[in-house]
Amino acid sequence: MALALNNLKPADGSTHKKKRVGRGPGSGLGKTAGRGHKGQKSRSGYSSKSGFEGGQMPLQRRLPKRGFTNIFKKKWIEISLAKLEENFGAGDEITPEVLHERGLIKKAKHDLVILGTGEMSKALKISAHRFTQTAKDKIERAGGSITEIKKEVAQTV
- Tens place of pLDDT for every residue, the chain, 157 residues? 788 999 999 999 999 999 999 999 999 999 999 999 999 899 999 998 999 998 999 999 999 999 999 999 888 999 999 999 999 998 899 999 999 999 999 876 789 999 999 999 989 999 999 999 999 999 999 999 999 998 776 666 6
User: Looking at the domain assignment, is residue 123 inside a domain?
Assistant: yes
**CATH number of the domain where residue 104 is located:** 3.100.10.10
Instruction: Assess if residue 49 is contained within a domain.
Output: no
Residue 124 lies in a domain: yes
Q: The domain containing residue 105 runs over which residues? A: 76-148
3-state helix, strand, coil in the chain (%, to 5): 20, 15, 60
Question: Does residue 96 fall inside a structural domain?
Answer: yes
The whole-number pLDDT of residue 108 equals 65
Kindly report whether the global pTM for this prediction surpasses the value 0.75. Answer: no
Strands (E), 95-143: 111-115, 125-128, 130-131
Q: What's the pLDDT at 155?
A: 67
Residue 18 domain flag: no
Q: Is residue 20 left, alpha or beta, with left meaning phi > 0 and alpha meaning psi from -120 to 50? A: beta
60 lies in a domain? Answer: no
DSSP code per residue over 27-66: GSS-TTTTS-SSSGGGSTT--PPTT-BTTBPPHHHHSPP-
pLDDT of residue 110: 84
The single-letter DSSP state of residue 6 is: G
Residue 147, pLDDT score: 93
Note whether 128 and 112 are within 8 A (CB). yes
Looking at the structure of the chain, the number of domains it has is 1
pLDDT score recorded for residue 69: 93
Whether 112 is covered by a domain: the verdict is: yes
In a domain, 64, yes or no: no
